[in-house]
Structure 1
Amino acid sequence: MDTHGDAPADPIDYRFSLANERTFLAWIRTALGLLAGGVAVQALAEQFSTPEFRRALAASCTALAVVLATVARSRWLRVEATMRCGDQLPDSVLVPMLAFGVSVIALAAGVAVVVS
């Protein structure tokens, strides 16, 4: 038995790795939904107060989608590596980040609807 930590870690149960992958794909679907929402706002929501506000709202959706997809990828890699090492899973910033971002976008869209 190697006591120096040089021995390879036991392989993780494939179900955990697949669950991590499904979680990653869920975040990617959410990012794609935000991207589609941004495109829809820009293309279809002409009743919003001004074109500049519409562009800002669409850009916010798109920016949140890019950030979410990027952070989801790094989280997937970090969780996979952590599981292989047998360590405790890291905390996630994705949930609060997404909740805050969507809340701000929804509030802005609500204001735009009321003002229009």
Structure 2
Amino acid sequence: MRVDDIDHDSGIGFTGAPRAVSSVTTPAPTDANDVEVLDYRFSLANERTFLAWIRTALGLLAGGVAVQTLAEQFSTSSLRRATAGGCALLALLIAAVAHRHWRRVEAAMRRGDPLPGSAMVPLLAIGVIAIATIATVAVMVA
């Protein structure tokens, strides 16, 4: 493939769903059971997003382990356990939801459908707010 053969358009439509890029994809499927071959750049971008969520989950898990083992200054062990457990639980939820979301986005892109919404951002925001609140109370009480 030559550089001149590549469509340098982003391939993203107004709906956020990837459009077919003629120089990289195959023609539209003729049978309802056929699935259009996806431009690999969209698939790789979806995978990078999934891996970013997994890194976030690993960071939360490491933070939970660190709080449980290193935060001896908390006056009550229940606040330490709540903070560490909250981190670990949020890490578990993010990892599970990230995989499900990756699969749904991949399938939607292959079908040419609009991309599905995600509960990841609100889940992470609410979880971090809850954990930060518990940690703040633990620091103030200590």
Q: Give TM class, smaller chain.
A: over 0.9
Distance 2:92 2:53 in 1: 11
Matched position secondary structure for 1:113: helix
Contact map agreement 1:9 1:86 (CA 8 A) in 2 = no
Distance 2:79 2:102 in 1: 34
Question: Identity of counterpart residues, as a percentage?
Answer: 64
Structure index of larger Rg: 2
Long gaps (5+) in structure 2: 1-29
Give yes or no for the alignment of 1:50 onto 2:87.
no
Q: What is the correspondence of 1:103-114 to structure 2 with a 5 Å cutoff?
A: 103-114=129-140
Distance 1:103 1:11 in 2: 41
**Relative contact order higher in (CA < 8 Å, ≥ 6 apart):** 1
Distance 1:7 1:62 in 2: 41
Q: What is the correspondence of 1:59-78 to structure 2 with a 5 Å cutoff?
A: 59-78=85-104
Q: Which of 61, 71, 78 is 1:35 aligned to?
A: 61
TM-score by length of 2: 0.76
Which residue of structure 1 lines up, in the alignment, with residue 20 of structure 2? none
Opposite residue 48 of structure 1, the aligned amino acid is F
Distance 1:19 1:29 in 2: 15
Give yes or no for the alignment of 1:9 onto 2:35.
yes
Which residue of structure 1 lines up, in the alignment, with residue 122 of structure 2? 96
User: Whose helix fraction is larger, Structure 1's or Structure 2's?
Assistant: 1
Matched position secondary structure for 2:75: coil
Contact map agreement 2:108 2:114 (CA 8 A) in 1 = yes
